[in-house]
A and B are shown apart, each in its own frame.
Chain A
Amino acid sequence: MPAASPSGPTRRDPRLLWIVALVLLAGRVGLGLYEQRHPPQKPDRVSWVEPADAPEIARRTGKPILYDFTADWCAPCQQMRDEVFAEERSADALTHLVVPVRVLDRQREAGRNSPMVDSLQRAHAVTAFPTLVIVDADGKSLGQLEGYPGVQGVLSWAGSTSMKGRITDPKGVKIRFP
Chain B
Amino acid sequence: MNPTLIRAFLLQRFTSPMRLGLTSLFTFFPLVGVAISGELALLGGIAGPLAVLFAAGAIGQDVSSGTLQLLLVRPVTRPGYVLNRWLGAMFAALGVVLVTTLCAVLLLYLRSTPPDALALSRLVLDSVTTIAGHAAVMLMLSSLVGGVGDVALYAASLFVAQMLVVLATWQQWAWLMRVSTEIQGVLGAKLSWAWLGTGMAPSAFDIVSWASTLTLALAVAIAAMNRKELSYASG
Residues of chain A touching chain B, judged by Cβ–Cβ distance below 8 Å, are: 7, 10-14, 17-18, 20-21, 24-25, 27-28, 31-32, 34-36, 40, 42, 73-76, 79, 87, 108, 128-129, 147, 152
Among B100-108, B151-159, B171-179, the one that faces the other chain is B171-179
Interface of A is mostly: helix
Interface size class of B (residues with CB under 8 A): 20 to 34
| A24 x B211 contact (CB < 8 A) | yes
Mask: chain B, 76-88; 1 = CB below 8 Å from A; 0 = not: 1111100000000
| A14 x B181 contact (CB < 8 A) | no
| B212 x A27 contact (CB < 8 A) | yes
A31 contact set on B, CB distance < 8 A? 204-205, 208-209
| A32 x B194 contact (CB < 8 A) | no
Query: Quick one: which of A27, A36, A40, A42 contacts B208, CB cutoff 8 A?
Result: A27
Query: Quick one: which of B169, B203, B212, B226 contacts A21, CB cutoff 8 A?
Result: B212
A21 contact set on B, CB distance < 8 A? 212, 215-216, 218-219
B124 contact set on A, CB distance < 8 A? none
A17-B215, A152-B45 known; 13 new pairs, CB 8 Å cut-off, are A7-B226, A10-B72, A13-B226, A14-B219, A17-B219, A21-B215, A28-B208, A31-B209, A35-B203, A42-B200, A73-B177, A74-B177, A152-B41
A42-B199 Cα distance, complex, nearest whole Å: 12
Query: Quick one: which of B170, B174, B219 contacts A128, CB cutoff 8 A?
Result: B170
Q: Which residue of B lies closest to A105 (CB)?
A: B172
Q: Which residue of B lies closest to A43 (CB)?
A: B200
Decide: A40 near B203, CB < 8 A? Known: A75-B177, A108-B172: yes
A76-B176 Cα distance, complex, nearest whole Å: 12
Q: Tell whether B222 is near chain A: CB-to-CB under 8 Å.
A: yes
Q: Closest approach, in angstroms, between the C-beta of A156 and any C-beta of chain B?
A: 11
A97-B169 Cα distance, complex, nearest whole Å: 28
A36 contact set on B, CB distance < 8 A? 178
A28-B225 Cα distance, complex, nearest whole Å: 26
Q: Closest approach, in angstroms, between the C-beta of A89 and any C-beta of chain B?
A: 8
B172 contact set on A, CB distance < 8 A? 73, 108
Query: Quick one: which of A18, A28, A75 contacts B181, CB cutoff 8 A?
Result: A75
| A10 x B169 contact (CB < 8 A) | no
A24-B194 Cα distance, complex, nearest whole Å: 22
| A75 x B178 contact (CB < 8 A) | yes
Q: Closest approach, in angstroms, between the C-beta of B195 and any C-beta of chain A?
A: 9
Q: Closest approach, in angstroms, between the C-beta of A51 and any C-beta of chain B?
A: 23
Q: Which 10 A-B pairs have the closest CB atoms?
A: A24-B212, A21-B215, A31-B205, A28-B212, A21-B216, A27-B208, A75-B177, A11-B226, A21-B219, A73-B174
B42 contact set on A, CB distance < 8 A? 152
| A17 x B78 contact (CB < 8 A) | no
| B72 x A76 contact (CB < 8 A) | no
| B169 x A18 contact (CB < 8 A) | no
A87 contact set on B, CB distance < 8 A? 194
Mask: chain B, 8-49; 1 = CB below 8 Å from A; 0 = not: 000000000000000000000000000000000110010000
| B76 x A10 contact (CB < 8 A) | yes
Decide: A10 near B212, CB < 8 A? Known: A73-B174, A74-B169, A129-B169: no
Q: Closest approach, in angstroms, between the C-beta of A18 and any C-beta of chain B?
A: 5
Q: Tell whether B165 is near chain A: CB-to-CB under 8 Å.
A: yes
A27-B169 Cα distance, complex, nearest whole Å: 27
A84-B171 Cα distance, complex, nearest whole Å: 25
Q: Which residue of A lies closest to B180 (CB)?
A: A75
A10 contact set on B, CB distance < 8 A? 72, 76-78
Q: Which residue of A lies closest to B200 (CB)?
A: A42
| A76 x B222 contact (CB < 8 A) | no
